[in-house]
């Protein structure tokens, strides 16, 4: 299995598109966690996806960790611009 298979990149689609991607990934055999990655304006969508997924659809998921960071992008005209990023890891709750 490739390392990136459990990453869902969040962009400009509606929240539910990504929620469905998370649910279908988590329903594959042996799936234990999924990482939501977003930058810029999509950060809000990533938080929405995490919240909607674990509250409405998969109560067995919990937020394992959240990292924020900065990426340097080069614009078409060559100028550099910094953009904030977020990574939210959702994990199956350990059975007690």
**Residues at the interface with its own copies (CB under 8 A):** 40-41, 43-44, 47-48, 50-51, 55, 63, 66-70, 82, 84, 86, 88
- Across the strands, what pairs with 5? none
Least distance in angstroms from the C-beta of 15 to its own copies: 9
Nearest distance in Å: CB 63, its own copies = 7
Residue with Cβ nearer its own copies (27 or 82): 82
Task: Name the minimum Å distance from CB 29 to its own copies.
Answer: 28
| Distance, CA of 33 to CA of 30 (rounded, Å) | 9
Q: Given the complex with its own copies, which of 30 and 38 has the nearer CB atom?
A: 38
């Amino acid at each position: 299995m490739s390392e990136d298979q459990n990453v869902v990149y969040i962009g400009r689609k509606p929240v539910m598109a990504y929620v469905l991607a998370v649910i279908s990934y988590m329903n594959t055999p042996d799936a234990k966690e999924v990482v939501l990655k977003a930058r810029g304006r999509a950060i809000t969508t990533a938080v929405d996806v995490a919240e909607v997924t674990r509250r409405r659809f998969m109560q067995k998921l919990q937020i394992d960790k959240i990292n924020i960071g900065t990426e340097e992008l080069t614009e078409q005209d060559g100028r550099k611009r910094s953009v904030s990023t977020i990574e939210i890891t959702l994990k199956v709750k350990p059975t007690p």
